[in-house]
Amino acid sequence: MTAQQVTAYQRQFTLSSNKPNLKRQAEQRERMLIACCVDEQGNPLFTDADIAALGAQPSTVIEPIFDACLEVCGHLKGDDSAKNSDGNDASN
């Protein structure tokens, strides 16, 4: 995902009133797959119309794909973004 795509992905979870969009937050995994899964030409494999079908899949199918999307996009679980390259807390 490009930086603009990541920003668009993140923005969809907040309403214009700056309140969380709880419905979309509940679909976080499905929406990550929609944003991240593309074919060889970069065409999306899924659309918003696929949210229910993706959500109906076993978590054992969705989680590994979701985790791979996070890794490819630089958003690893256990978000280490507050650490610098030495592994030290960058907020100090």
Give tens-digit pLDDT for 32-51: 999 999 999 999 999 999 99
What is residue 74's predicted lDDT score, i.e. its pLDDT?
78
Length of the chain, in residues: 92
Q: Mean pLDDT over residues 10-33, rounded?
A: 91
Burial 7-41 (b: 16+ CB within 10 A, else e): eebeeeeeeeeeeeeeeeeebebbbbbbbbeeeee
pTM score: 0.73
